[in-house]
Amino acid sequence: MPTKSRFAALAASCFFAVLAPSQSAAQEKVLNVVPHSNLAILDPIWTTAYMSRNHGYMIYDTLFATDAKNQIQPQMIESWLVSADKKVWEFKLRNGLEFHDGNPVTSEDVIASLNRWGKRDAMGVAMYSFVDKLEPISANRFRIVFKEACGFVLEALGKPSSNVPFIMPKRIADTDPFKQIGEHIGSGPYTFKADEFKPGDKAVYLKFKNYKPRAEPPSAMAGSKEVFVDKVVWNLALRDTQAALNALVKGEVDILEQVAFDLYESAQKESAINVLKPTIGLQYMCRFNHLHAPFNKPEVRRAALASFNQEAFLRAQVGVKELYKPCPSMFTCGTPYGSPAGSDIQSKSNMKMAQELLKKSGYDGTPVVIMKPTDLQSIGKLPDVAAQLMRQAGFKVDLQAMDWQTLVSRRAKKDAPKDGGWHMFCTAWVAPDIWSPINNAALDARGLKAGWFGWGEDAKLEELRSQFLRVTEDGAKKKLSDQIQTRAFEVATHAPLGEYIQPVGVRKNVSGVNVSGLSNVYWGIKKD
């Protein structure tokens, strides 16, 4: 070959060598998302933080799942049998389930995962109080044997929100539940790019090509988890609400999980995006730390509870009337257990009562440490309102600002507030997480044995919850739930602050976004 021809051929080969990856990259479909918060904790049972839950849904799968009608449907399970006395449940896994490391999902993986979850989750703890044993039957079949009939097995295994009973390999699930896992491998629709994860910057997930979706159409957390994009990138650095909305409008990001309430009306006017409203909402609450003075006294907690006015919180935090409503219940309003039972102390917001209760309690002026998140627009104003109302009641308040993930880490500490602990924080729960005495974590009254932060302890409340677990008749359940709520208001486990809807911003070239409100998930989404 002449020198000139060889040079041309060489140049051409170099050109195509460079071009080929570029073309491949251009064809790659990437979904860019601004999630509602930073992601710091990757262990899905270590915290009830929704970012950790959402991360879990990316990479793990579940045995059962909740559909859009709030019905429990099989997910990893192909079939199951229940004995006549409801004490023995046998389950069969779907064929072809595979972990991201290439190993098949087995019954031993399932049992280890459930055992770990059952030590941290409120509903898991409740279910395990009935459990005699879990045992494998074969590689894809396992059995749960109960000491007595348990009426909420599928509801527990298919619960849609924190903490979700995700399935992981046994070697990982064998990790002490009070220590965080070090590997993040599941059998879900995405794999986690651990080498690209940078807290406060980004998290990257790749389509798991060996995932086998169910045949049923997607419905909330159930059905087919088919993935139509190659990669999902969570932008964890973009925390300014206006800048995030601008990025969405410009097409720099595809989905904004939380459109700031004060930007809601302007966002609706943007022609390039859709502003979606989930079908179910969330409930605000403030949680008291029962371990440390002054909140170790129920009289002091009741004083704070009496000072709170839901409308004041909702108006300050949300502001848009169509997006919020007061709710006198600790359970989700409009659900079977939603009720005003026992709520007069708070729903009527009696500041005079608050002042009297605080005076009678012997409160000594100890400053109450309230943790305030600086980077979570959906709840960031709640601590300010709480501080203002509590000061009116006679409390001294120490409002301490921090980012949400620092708050999430700090609230797990049982240390005294002067040693880095806390007295109170405010948060939000998606409706299914709180709509019964079983899964409402704030009602867990087992003290230091409880899994959720605040560690309330009350024998009467626990006895009522124990009775609730065992009744099957709806009328009896409703009566007990009212008694449970009344007792919870009496001891002031926490303060419900009303309900709201969180709008989601989506580019118009993006379709299939799940707006059930149960969780932010990223299967079934197409990007044109």
Q: What is the secondary structure of 294-309 as a DSSP string?
A: TTTSHHHHHHHHHH--
Q: Is the pLDDT of residue 349 over 50?
A: yes
Answer yes or no: is pLDDT of 451 > 80: no
**Across-strand partners of 138?**
141
**Residue among 33, 518, 512 nearest 257 (CA):** 33
376 burial level (CB within 10 Å; 0-12, 13-18, 19+): buried
Flag the least confident range among 145-154, 368-377, 465-474.
465-474
Please report where in the chains the tokens 């001294």 appear, as a residue.
Answer: 396
Q: Which of 4-13, 417-426, 514-523 has the highest mean pLDDT?
A: 417-426
Pairing of strands 368-373, 255-256: unpaired
Q: What is the mean pLDDT of the chain?
A: 93
Is there a contact between 301 and 288 (Cβ–Cβ < 8 Å)? yes
**pLDDT score at 3:** 41
pLDDT value, residue 16: 39
Give yes or no for residue 12 having a pLDDT over 50: no
In this model, does residue 9 exceed pLDDT 50? no
**Quick one: pLDDT at residue 271?**
97
3-state DSSP assignment of residue 397: strand
3-state SS track over 75-134: CCEEEEEECCCCCEEEEEECCCCECCCCCECCHHHHHHHHHHHCCCCHHHHHHHCCEEEE
Instruction: Give the distance from CA 112 to its chain's centroid.
Output: 22
Q: Where in the chain is the domain with CATH 3.90.76.10?
A: 50-184
Question: Over 90: is that where the pLDDT of 20 sits?
Answer: no
Q: Once rounded to an integer, what is the mean pLDDT over residues 433-461?
A: 92
> Is residue 41 scored above 90 in pLDDT?
yes
518 has a pLDDT exceeding 60: yes
What mean pLDDT comes out for the span 207-236?
97
More confident residue, 20 or 374: 374
Residue 70 has a pLDDT of: 84
**pLDDT given at position 449:** 85
CATH fold for domain 282-500: Dipeptide-binding Protein; domain 3 (3.10.105)
Please give the full DSSP string across 155-186, using - where no structure is assigned: HHHT--SSSP--B--HHHHTS-TTS--S----
Is the pLDDT confidence value at 2 over 60? no
Distance CA(187)–CA(203), nearest Å, equals: 18
Mean pLDDT value of segment 358-381: 96
Residue spans in the chain of domains classed CATH 3.10.105.10? 282-500
Q: How many residues does the chain have?
A: 528
Distance CA 110, CA 123 (A): 17
- Of 5-19, 116-130, 132-146, least confident by mean pLDDT is 5-19
For the chain, the maximum distance between any two Cα atoms, rounded to a whole number of angstroms, is 102
The pairing of strands 190-192 and 202-207 is antiparallel
Decide which of 3.90.76.10, 3.10.450.50, 2.40.37.10, 3.40.605.10 is the CATH code for 50-184.
Answer: 3.90.76.10
Is the pLDDT at 13 greater than 70? The verdict is no
**Averaged over 352-372, what is the pLDDT?**
97
Report residue 243's pLDDT band, with 50, 70 and 90 as the boundaries. very high
Measure the CA–CA gap between 317 and 262, rounded to whole angstroms. 9
Among candidates 208, 188, 210, 226, which has minimal Cα distance to 76?
A: 188
The angle that helices 298-307 and 474-491 make with each other, rounded to 10 degrees, is: 100
Predicted pLDDT at 512: 96
How much is the pLDDT for 25? Answer: 52
Q: For residues 101 and 110, is the Cβ–Cβ distance under 8 A? A: no
Please give the average per-residue pLDDT across 373-391, as a whole number. Answer: 95
Burial grade of 312 (CB within 10 A; 0-12, 13-18, 19 or more): middle
What per-residue confidence (pLDDT) applies to 1? 44
pLDDT at res. 302: 97
Residue 358: phi and psi, rounded to 5, are -65, -40
Residue % of the chain over a pLDDT of 70: 95
pLDDT over 90, % of the chain: 85
The predicted pLDDT at position 280 comes to: 87
Is residue 69 very low, low, confident or very high in pLDDT (cuts 50, 70, 90)? confident
Predicted confidence at residue 4, as pLDDT, reads 41
Q: Given this model, what pLDDT does residue 48 score?
A: 87
Q: Which of 20-29, 206-215, 446-455, 494-503 has the lowest mean pLDDT?
A: 20-29
Q: Does the pLDDT of residue 472 top 50, yes or no?
A: yes
pLDDT digits (tens, 9 = 90+) for 394-405: 999 999 999 998
What is the DSSP pairing of strand 231-235 with strand 30-34?
A: parallel
Bridge-based pairing of strands 526-527 and 504-507 is unpaired
CB 267 within 8 A of CB 245: yes
Residue 505 pLDDT grade (very low, low, confident, very high; cuts 50, 70, 90) = very high
Q: What is the pLDDT of residue 416?
A: 97
Average pLDDT over residues 269-293: 96
Give the number of other Cβ atoms within 10 Å of residue 526's Cβ. 14
Q: Which two tokens stand for residue 512?
A: 């299939």
Give the tokens for residue 38: 């930073």
- Judge residue 87's burial from the number of C-beta atoms within 10 Å of its C-beta, 0-12 exposed, 13-18 middle, 19 or more buried: middle
- Name, in order, each residue with C-beta under 8 angstroms of 453's C-beta and a sequence gap of 6 or more: 287, 289, 411, 412, 425
pLDDT in tens, 78-119: 999 999 999 999 999 999 999 999 999 999 999 999 999 999
